Amino acid sequence: MASHLTISFNTPPKKFPSSPFSKAHLFSSSTSTTLIKINIKTKNLLFPTHTRCSSVSSLSTTLENINETQLVFQEDERLLCEIWKEIQGCNDWEGLLDPMNPHLRREIIRYGEFTQACYDSFDFDPDSKYCGTCKYQGAHFFEKLDMADRGYQISRYLYATSNINLPNFFQKSRMSKIWSTHANWIGYVAVCTDEEEIRRLGRRDIVVAWRGTVTYLEWITDLKDILHSANFGGDPAIKIELGFYDLYTRKEERCRYCAFSAREQVLAEIKRLLEYYDGEEISITFTGHSLGAALATVSAYDIAELGLNLVDGGAKIPITVYSFSGPRVGNLKFKERCEELGVKVLRVINVHDKVPTVPGIIANEKVQFQKYIEETISFPWSYAHVGVELALDHTHSPFLKPTKDLGCAHNLEAHLHLVDGYHGKEREFRLATKRDIALVNKSCDFLRSEYGVPPYWRQDENKGMVRNGDGRWVLPERPVVDSHPPETAFHLEQVLGRIGRTSASQ
């Protein structure tokens, strides 16, 4: 693809000067100005849209002074609907990350905001009797989060049982429980329903967003660094970390929210949606931050391993994971199987964040002989990251202050800020979408003080307390939280029956 720099002159030039670029063509002219568009034979390289020069000599100086580290990358002339499969990783994002393609930047941020919505809607407050739930009903979810213009609707909420070995992931009320002693809201499935947005995207998109952790490092101490066979229909040598496995597969039949495991909830809903939108162009996108990124990767693999994304004729519905600050999930066999199945994972990390370095500190994808270590000597603590890494560095942002707070380096809003300013390795940090920097301090203290944004500023007004008819301050009752659609068992049986028939035929 050729990119362009448009330059206008006060008077038409008589001779076009030599330049460090490949070719230049007279683009258009008039009596007052001459516009010259320079074709740059560099993939996805985009210049400031317009430069004004008073003369040919000043143009020559302008061109000579431009170098790659000073460029501002603005627009890809192609429409997203034309290249959406590339943006979703069909070619492993080759040529799209350095320099950063503007469509990809916006999509990373967009899916990151779907993930951030899990934090913004979750009741973390242990003094709330609703602690552990989503604050909003599904029908009003995006509206309450000022995301109604995204064109998506909640399809179902996801729950996980807290009766597992990751206690620091779950939130429980100090008050008497009114909704469940066993469950936490853990994310949602949403589907694009707005026709204009579907045309812009080039397909109908299904999003599965997983909630991450409330605290930064507490949950890491709960990881046992024990690998467990995934048992999702593939090779038993494919293993994932035990805590992730339990969180994804455990259920509690005494609880109506956890009567189905998180895994069963996802499988049933993806099956239902694919049947409902049969024949349409569809993508399935998983996203999550921190521990939620691990769940996103596990569930994406699960869908692909079961072949739920296969359609008539053998075609595959693309499965993509946008992972933020995610830990390693499984062993090398898990990574290799994800690649075989065509699961595309883009891992966005901050190089100063410690979470992406665990588990697998001793044996991981950076170790030269990992395959030998894992398969020949059966080393039980071998882990490997899946997918393509987009490594960012918060010290490159002039908006962020130096800090030793590891939580800041792990913060999701900070990651989205870094994506907004990233243009490629060794290139100047410069905000591209003008995303509000105040968002960085929603749940941390990371912005420089001169910007006047208070830390930890996002909170419910009066902690949700309102005046009743008698003038007393009370916590209003919330509507009953959505549990599971009545057809969940039916669609899950279709999935499990399909697995059984496949196993029998083999």
Q: Which residues are catalytic?
A: 290, 353, 410
Single-letter residue type at 37: K
For residues 135 and 146, give the distance between their C-alpha atoms in angstroms, rounded to a whole number.
14
Q: Which residues contact 183 (CB under 8 A, 6 or more apart)?
A: 132, 159, 160, 161, 162, 252, 255, 257, 258
**C-alpha closest to that of 133 among 74, 184, 92:** 184
- Which residue is associated with the tokens 């076009």? 16
Other C-beta atoms lying within 10 Å of the C-beta of residue 222: 14
- Which residue is associated with the tokens 């080039």? 202
Q: Dig out the tokens for 476 from the structure.
A: 């209003």
**C-alpha closest to that of 482 among 145, 206, 160, 134:** 134
- Torsion sign over Cα 214, 220, 223, 228: positive
For residues 422 and 165, give the distance between their C-alpha atoms in angstroms, rounded to a whole number.
38
**C-alpha closest to that of 420 among 456, 447, 396, 386:** 396
Q: Dig out the tokens for 114 from the structure.
A: 């779907």
Q: Dig out the tokens for 10 from the structure.
A: 């006060």
